[in-house]
Amino acid sequence: MPISVRLPPRVEQRLAEYCAHTGLSKSEAVKRALERLFDHEAIPAGANAAARRFVGSDDRAGDVARNSKRLLRKHFRGK
């Protein structure tokens, strides 16, 4: 899938220097950098198996996010 990314001049220069030094194309260097990022960064909460048990855990009817103020008032007033 082709994508387009606008790089700041400083980053573009560093990428060009890296590619000239290693003999890689810019595309290959960016692919490898993204793979490293995904391998070493924390997994987003939605993708984390431990966090998944909390997603959708509120079984109240309706849209809790849109009605949060009303639901909190109701909860803390004991209604």
**pLDDT tens sequence across 12-24:** 999 999 999 999 9
**pLDDT tens sequence across 28-40:** 999 999 999 888 8
Is residue 78 classed exposed, middle or buried when 0-12, 13-18 and 19+ CB atoms within 10 A define those classes? exposed
Backbone phi, psi, residue 35, to 5°? -60, -45
Q: Using pLDDT thresholds of 50, 70 and 90, give the confidence band for residue 57.
A: low
Cα(64)–Cα(56) distance, rounded to whole angstroms?
10
The pTM assigned to this predicted structure is 0.52
Average pLDDT in the 35-62 region? 71
Residue identified by tokens 């060009």 is 16
